[in-house]
Structure 1
């Protein structure tokens, strides 16, 4: 029994138990030979991290799993998927836990010790990984500066659509179409990449604060 195996068993429990230590503790109840009781707090600490670090482990594990679902869906349909289809599939994975994501993002952005300022890097890494996977799936072959610009543009499009989804889920896919159309018309310069980072971070932080999770 490894922490990686238990983390995979905990991911389906997020919908019912949230991104919580309880979800991690209950993972052992779903082993091929289930335990009689959930993991103790000490065991959760040992396997996944102390305090909220265990929750961060679960959130990051879920984000990795969500990208894997995106990749699987895009490569099992027969015909090559378009970029829009790939990113829409990633948004779809959010739907069962959409109400939990603002708090999850807030926790990722919160410093392990002390009070905010919030850390922008988890949000930027998240959308950048989605963009990297999406470009690989659709066979993007750009290299050098074009590789960087292309992924920055895709990350900006996905990040904007996901942020929109948190506040207006019914129009998220139409918004994705609009923002993809816009990015296709713009050659992402270094300055635009910087604007992308600032935009994603300001929007991410704003939604976190509006959720009431952080002051």
Structure 2
């Protein structure tokens, strides 16, 4: 099937979808193992990873995999996520967004302002999670840092995980809420009607042969 068939438009190719799911799967594994290590009441989650010792060993390595995977996504899509005047206005009309009054909203390009904010949130939090994770990575790296820095790193690590996790929950909800969105990450394509309704700016560029 061509990239832009009569009925469907390709939103993501196979490599991009694989990259997305790799990031998503590692994120889920990190959240589960992170919860297990964060509070004794959730320690039972370590059973998913073979016990407490294995959870502590695997968590940072999975984190490195997610960082590398997301870095690839960021390099592919950063230029589609630059905020524009339309995006600022879109955010100001959040009530219309929630009420599905899309005809009242400014023209949306490949991604809306909410998706762009999540992207930049991840660009900020994932490197911070990696850096703070290295500081608290016992016994390999922690001894090389100033005393008590690991305590601050734990707090910042938990805060970044909370911010990112909240954003991802909203992202998942929105993907389910907007009918036809999940198809993009499962099959790679979306219908022309979906694009025209939710991303009219991107649709115009596709029609003009300017999509890149």
TM-score, normalised to structure 1, is: 0.31
- The answer to which structure, 1 or 2, has the higher relative contact order (CA under 8 A, 6+ apart) is 2
TM-score, normalised to structure 2, is: 0.31
Rg larger in structure: 2
